[in-house]
Amino acid sequence: MHDHQLRSRVTRKYQAITNSCYTWPVPENVLNQTFTADRPHAVWMADIPNIPTEEGWLYLASLQDLYTQKIVG
């Protein structure tokens, strides 16, 4: 390739779509990576995974109580 002055074409495979130029206040990190609780309903954890299906993407939202380790919503 070097003898024929050829080069590979490099393209970006990932493009960030997040707009990080905002002025909203950033909430304080009150858990600080300590995922334990000393009483029920004191700390909840949330997650929204996306699930690919034949009809398109589905989203499963859940809330977990960190004291009882049970799904509450």
pLDDT digits (tens, 9 = 90+) for 4-40: 888 888 877 777 777 777 788 888 988 888 888 899 9
pTM (predicted TM-score): 0.54
pLDDT of res. 68: 92
pLDDT of res. 64: 93
| Whether the predicted pLDDT of 63 surpasses 90 | yes
* Strand ranges in 1-73 using DSSP code E only, listed in sequence order: 44-47, 50-53, 56-59, 62-65, 70-71
- Distance between CA atoms of 60 and 57, rounded to whole angstroms? 10
Strand partners, 45: 64
